[in-house]
Structures are given as C-alpha cells and as structure tokens.
Amino acid sequence: MSALQPVRGTHDLLPDAMRRHRAVVDLARMLAERYGYHEMATPIFEFTEVFQRTLGETSDVVTKEMYTFALREGDSITLRPENTAGVARALITHGLQQQLPCKFFYAGPMFRHERPQKGRQRQFHQIGIELLGVAEPLGDVEIIALGRHILEALGVADDTTLELNTLGDLDSRVAYRAALVEYFRDRADALSEDSRDRLQRNPLRILDSKDPGDRRVIAEAPRFDDHLNALSQDFFGRVCAGLERLGIPFERNPRLVRGLDYYSHTAFEFTTTRLGAQGTVLGGGRYDGLVETMGGPSVPGVGWAAGIERLALLLQEPPAPPRPIALVPLGEAAEGEALQIADRLRRAGQVVELTYGGNLKKRLKRANTVQARAAVLLGEEELARGEATVRDLDSGQQESVPLDALLARLAAR
C-alpha cells in the first residue's frame, strides 16, 4: 500500500463531503440544544480498561476491533470505539452526579478495526446524546423523539423505520437468559461456531446472528415477553404510549437486544434499506447499570449514537454554501486596495474570494471556478476615479460603483 494513499478504512473529507458531514452535525447540534442537551467532548483515546469494563472483555469489539496501544509507562490506551463509555467516565471524573440530570450532545471520530464497506469505515464519525440521571420512561421517549426530529429535519425520516424492543429489568433478563441458554444448549449442534461461543459467554447476542442456520434456530427461541415481570411490562408500555402520543411510528422487534447486564428496558434502532447491509443509522437504549459498572455511583442513563457517514449517504444535496464576491485587482496598488476592501466586506458578513496572480482573463476564470456571484474589478483607471467596476457574473452586466459605496451596493445584490 502506497504511503500516499489513505490507510485502509479511512477517508478524506474533501469540501463537498465535508459539507454533507457538517450539515448533519450542525443540524443535530442545533436541535439537541433545543431539547436542552449541551455539547461536550471526550478524548479520542482512553485507558483500555474504560472500554473493557463497559463493552465486556469477551465482546467482539474488545477482542477483535479495538485499536489498543501500550505506552512507555506500561499503561494501555485505546482509541475510542464508541463514546458512551467516555461520557460515563467523565461523569465520574468530574463528580457530575451532583448536577443530575446531565444532558450531553457530542460529535466526533470513533475507531474500529472492521472490514471496510459502504457506510462502515475504520475511522468513522458519530453524533450522539446521553441523558444521565433520569430513570423514568419519559427520558426514553424524549431521546427517541429527538432522534426522530433530527432525521425529519435532515429529510431522511421516511427512509427509516424505528425498531423497538424491551430488555426488561435485571430480574426479567436473568429469567430470560436461563430459558435461552437451556433452549440453545439443546440445539448447539445446529448453531454456528460464533453462536456456540456466545452461548458460553453472552447468549443474548445469538439473537443478533445473521447466519442462516442460526436464524432457523432463533425463530423458535423463547420470547422475551414471556419472561417480563410487571414492572418491565409497565415501563415498556409507558414508552410505547409516549411515542404514540407524539405520533412517532415504530415496529416491535423482539430480537433487538443488547448483550451486557447494565443494559435494561428500552432498546431501539432507526434502520434503512438504502445502505445495503449497514442498515442501522441511529441506535441506542437504556443503560442504568453502566456508571456503577465503571466504579461510580448508581446513575441511570439512556442515549443513542448515529453514524454521520451513513446519514450523509442518505441526504439529498444539502444547501450550497453562499456564493462569494470575487475581487479582481490588477497591479500592485490595486492589490493593496483589494486587501482593505476584502477585509471590510468580510467583516460585514460577505463571502469574499481574492483572485491571486495572473492577468484579467485568468483571474475571471478563477472567479467562475468558485461560482462567484459578482466580480469587483480594480485597475489603475478605476482607482484614479475612486471607483470599482462591479460585474454581475450571471447576467454579464456591469457598472461603476464609488469605493465608499461598494459595501452597500454589494450587500443589496
């Protein structure tokens, strides 16, 4: 692999791609603020233990996908594969449990050593929210509503389906896990090697398997609903009622699970059929035991994350950036004047492109390349008269404008 190529699984965000990326982040940030979520950022690497504790030492992410490095001092650090663990760690580090509830929004890069494909990269980017300190179903409804609101504002909600499930409380999960283990153990010979391994360490994850043989076995597996206690049924019923009250459509997916014990109650994903195998664009759920698992106090939590690259692939063409004004100075004196004019225009909120070097034809070609709406021509004759020639690059019409009236004239266009 040439060193002049990006590393496999990474990609450059050139201006057009970055415009889509920013459209997702900027809109999500604005709507998150409307719901009372405040932006924060955690380091892109943490001590490895942060992720081992939260993702499970035997999970695929920890055993196969993390980028982990040994420091000279002997510590082990890992590039973050997700951000919820970092947010929970920050809550403990800074004693934020004294300020509950905490409502956070974040956006940034994550890293997983996966097989690159459409919508999946080894360095990818996510937006996400975390609501810490709220145990009531109302919190689950609110974060799902925010996710749906963002998808609507991006114009992609109609391309997605909200899939919803309940994982119940700990008592319900223990009962269901026992029934699931008994069922799969009797049919272990029909399971894939991965699922047989999961049977020993994380049987709920078998329900996620895409293996055709596993799917046939899973079809007859015990239903979680049959093992939900009254408290869990009530919690899920209140979540569903809240979504219905807001007019948010959803489909029940009883096979949608999270494998670790600190997950509870609501699990959900917004999925699409437009991205091939990478169907999930936004997903999350409740993780009431996470902070305690990390050594902190008992703090309920619920949140979600969404892949920016996947959302960007679904976007229609985002609004084009404002068309600039091109300054076309000819001669050294005109270049000095152009610097001052550019400064005044930019401070007044105009987008300005200085054309550098070359004759008039070359500079006007540059103005067309950047899709300028107007060109301000500054030559010796114009300067002598204290004027500039303003050319409309759409109509081709031009007029002489006094330099002291230039700002007002261009603002009115």
Distance in angstroms (rounded) separating the CA atoms of residues 201 and 191: 15
Structure tokens given for 269: 């994903």
Structure tokens given for 37: 């979520």
Tell me what pLDDT residue 211 has: 87
Assess contact for 324 and 370: CB atoms under 8 A: yes
Cα–Cα–Cα angle for 303, 40, 262, rounded to 5 degrees: 30
Sheet holding 325-329, edge to edge: 352-354, 325-329, 374-378, 387-392, 398-402
Distance in angstroms (rounded) separating the CA atoms of residues 336 and 356: 12
Tell me what pLDDT residue 64 has: 77
Please state, in angstroms and as integers, the Cα–Cα distance from residue 322 to each residue in 277, 285, 339, 351, following that order. 36, 39, 20, 7
Question: Helices in 186-327 by DSSP H: which ranges?
Answer: 193-201, 212-218, 230-245, 290-293, 308-314
Tell me what pLDDT residue 390 has: 95
Instruction: Name the helix (H) or strand (E) containing 288.
Output: none
Q: Which residues are 78's β-sheet partners?
A: 46, 68
Return the axis-axis angle of helices 170-185 and 193-201, rounded to nearest 10°: 140
Please state the CATH superfamily assignment of the domain spanning residues 325-411 in this structure. Anticodon-binding domain (3.40.50.800)
Please state, in angstroms and as integers, the Cα–Cα distance from residue 179 to each residue in 172, 175, 225, 232, 257, following that order. 11, 7, 12, 17, 15
- With left for phi above 0 and alpha for psi between -120 and 50, is residue 43 left, alpha or beta? beta
Tell me what pLDDT residue 120 has: 78
Listed as ranges, residues in the chain with pLDDT below 50 are none
Domain 15-169+229-314, what fold?
BirA Bifunctional Protein; domain 2 (3.30.930)
Q: For residue 223, what are the contacts with CB-CB under 8 A and spacing of at least 6?
A: 254
Judging by DSSP bridges, how do beta strands 68-70 and 45-47 pair with one another? unpaired
Tell me what pLDDT residue 319 has: 77
DSSP 346-413: HHTT--EEEPPSS-HHHHHHHHHHTT-SEEEEE-HHHHHHTEEEEEETTT--EEEEEGGGHHHHHHT-
Assess contact for 170 and 325: CB atoms under 8 A: no
Distance in angstroms (rounded) separating the CA atoms of residues 205 and 221: 13
pLDDT tens string 221-231 = 998 888 999 99
Each domain of the chain, given as residue ranges in start order, spans 15-169+229-314, 325-411
Tell me what pLDDT residue 282 has: 97
Tell me what pLDDT residue 58 has: 56
- Closest to 315 (Cα-Cα) out of 122, 158, 82: 158
Q: For residue 74, what are the contacts with CB-CB under 8 A and spacing of at least 6?
A: none
